[in-house]
Amino acid sequence: MSIKTENLIFTLQTKHSTYQMKVSEHGHLLHLYYGPSVEDEDLSYLIPHVIRSHESNPDEAGEDRVYSLCAYPQEFSSNDAGDYRIPSIELVNGDGSYSFVGKYKSHTRYKGKYALNTLPTLFADGDEDAETLEIVLEDPVTHVSVKLLYGVFAEKDIITRAAILCNGSDHPIRLQRFLSASLDFMTSDFDLIEFFGHHYYERRTDRRPLSRGIDEIGSFRGASGHFHNPFAILCDKKTDEETGNAYGFCLMYSGNFVFGAEVDGYAQTRVAMGIHPKQFEFRLNRGECFEAPEVVLCHSSEGLSTLSHRFHRIFRENACRSEFVKASRPVLINSWEPFRFTFNTETLLKTAEESKKLGADLFVLDDGWFGQRNDEKAGLGDWVANEEKIPGGIRALSERIHALGMKFGLWFEPEMVNENSDLYRTHPDWCLQVPGRAPSRSRHQLCLDLSRPEVCDHLIQAVNKVLDEGGIDYVKWDYNRYVCDVYSVGHPADRQGEIYHRYILGLYRILNGIVKTHPHILFEGCSGGGGRFDGAMLTYFPQIWCSDNTDAPSRLVIQHGTSFAYPISSMGAHVSVCPNKKTKRTVPFKTRALTAMHGTFGYELDPAKMTEAEKAECATYTELYRKHQNLIFSGDYYRLSSPHDDSLFTAWAFVSQDKNTALVCAVLQEISIMDENCYVKVCGLEEKGMYRIAETDQILSGAALKNVGILLPHTTPQYSSFLFQLEKV
């Protein structure tokens, strides 16, 4: 049994963890524990019963000065009621007050996994895969209620949280903050690991100790963003890849978000996550409700690798229903490198035909195929083929690509528009733009107002027409600027605080209307690279372009950080030209290929500029990737060394679930003048098992591979790479 509810003590059990709450004698829902598994015990003794001087005590506590909401750990914190830590909620009641104190009202437990009406969530594979607990808290004065939702995937060691607020009062309320999850720990000796960056360098890792006060990360760009990812880890100071406690928090939301960790004066820690409250205000009339996005929680007492394995499994198996999640993925080549905006049907066909020599089986026509799109200043929003470039339209081109024995894909950026476009000239009010102010542009683009149903309906119809008529096998869904000038003429002045969130709701509506109605098309998400790489997007896209930076040493850093939460099968990774167009760095082809095998694999190359020998080398690595794709996608992934450390090399491994097969890769980052010995220590194997290394014909035990490692060859150039294929004998 995964959920127990005796005596208003709520215990959520997974295979290796326990999460416990309790309704106090005064009706507050207290958070007692989250950590390694504890069976059938009341853990309320963990709360110290001491007087905290100068802290407020609720009236119902009478003379009991021990009972204080500012000192007690809460499951959903109140507002304006004596708790001065990060609040779960801020609202303005009908009488102008800001108070909310949620008291326990009821609970419900049922088999299966809850779902939200407006937001994507993880799903259960049948009622036996998960169980749900709903706890309702209600303010006894205003009758505003909050339903806390808990989904328990017991076998997968995952707990999800979401929340729904309903206005049961007689007056409208203004919701100004409503976070999805809050947890209080009675200690504070944690490190915070977050994933920061910018365009071209996403999801680098930063690990730092929590300090007194609030550590906060987030995005206020209208997207989850390049700069901070909606995923964070709290862990013990000594936690490493293989040992120690770690807690992961992943928000299933693609817009503005906030994650905060506050250490109070008593060395207690509150963690809270949800929609960013800046420029957020949602008005709710009587009977109306608001859904907060889901947070995916995971605990590991066996270090960061196990934490990642559990996130990888849940995202592979319970996020996206696409048929491509478990299917073999095509190896693609993209038209952007060879042509940019300048091409015609014959040049595209010649490139597609030459791409077959690289082993590619999917040709993708990128930007420039529609409207008057001859540069980035015009045509965006006009999703009709430019027949001057492509006579007969997309269908005619698609048929000729298919006749070559290749699949065919298209690039779209549905959420954006150029002012020099038929769409903008017809509907200039369909953009986000503050009245009386000149708009801010990025890449000569404006953002369409997805908070308006008519805009969403137009995009669904326009894109679906191309997909339905064009014979499309793959779509790259791009998003190349952030949202600003956030004002919608489709909503009244007192509703403008809702636009950021309504934009995201509109985006999900569009994705439901396009992606989920075309199950046989492989959709890949993109946002100027990895600017919207989040759990919610993975419910629609089985893969997301990891970064516009394709330089292999840079990608080692980017893909390393991405791997802490997101599975390898979700990372779009390609081999590109050298010197790299962004970094100007030259890296051996093998290193570029092995780095791209650390993902979905494809090419950003111009076959016309390649020799036959280079094409043959591509074909060799394409074949190698196809041989190991199942292991790469479904095996356990191990970060064997970090590109952030002082190690001379970066290494990683894929180990099959049965531990019979492994693929070990290493890239030499630095050349040591001391000519040091470099040993790659391989985790995840059976220590008593014996493994043959194909490249050296050595047979070593799993214990030797873990504790001693594989010796890398000496005197090799910087950025050399090594591949070791291991089989159990």
Rounded Cα distance between 156 and 660, Å, is 22
Structure token pair of residue 40: 């059938």
Helices (H), 537-651: 552-562, 589-596, 612-634
Catalytic residues: 534, 614
Q: What totals of helices (H) and strands (E) does the chain contain, helices first?
A: 11, 38
DSSP H or E segment with residue 236? strand 228-236
CB contact set of 137 (below 8 Å; sequence gap of 6+) = 29, 76, 102, 103, 104, 105, 145, 146, 147, 148
Cβ proximity of 92 and 280 under 8 Å: no
Interstrand relation of 332-334 and 362-365 (parallel, antiparallel or unpaired) = parallel
Rounded Cα distance between 663 and 653, Å, is 5
DSSP conformational letter for 481? S
Cβ proximity of 341 and 367 under 8 Å: yes
φ, ψ (nearest 5 deg) of residue 141: -95, -50
DSSP conformational letter for 387? T
Q: Which amino acid is at 433?
A: Q
Classify the C-alpha dihedral 631-635-641-643 as positive or negative: positive
Closest CA to 5 of 128, 105, 133, 102: 133
Whether residue 579 is preceded by a cis peptide bond, meaning omega within 30 degrees of 0, is: yes
Cβ proximity of 184 and 21 under 8 Å: no
Cβ proximity of 480 and 529 under 8 Å: no
The SS3 call for residue 557 is: helix
Separation of CA 137 from chain center = 30
Q: Which amino acid is at 667?
A: V
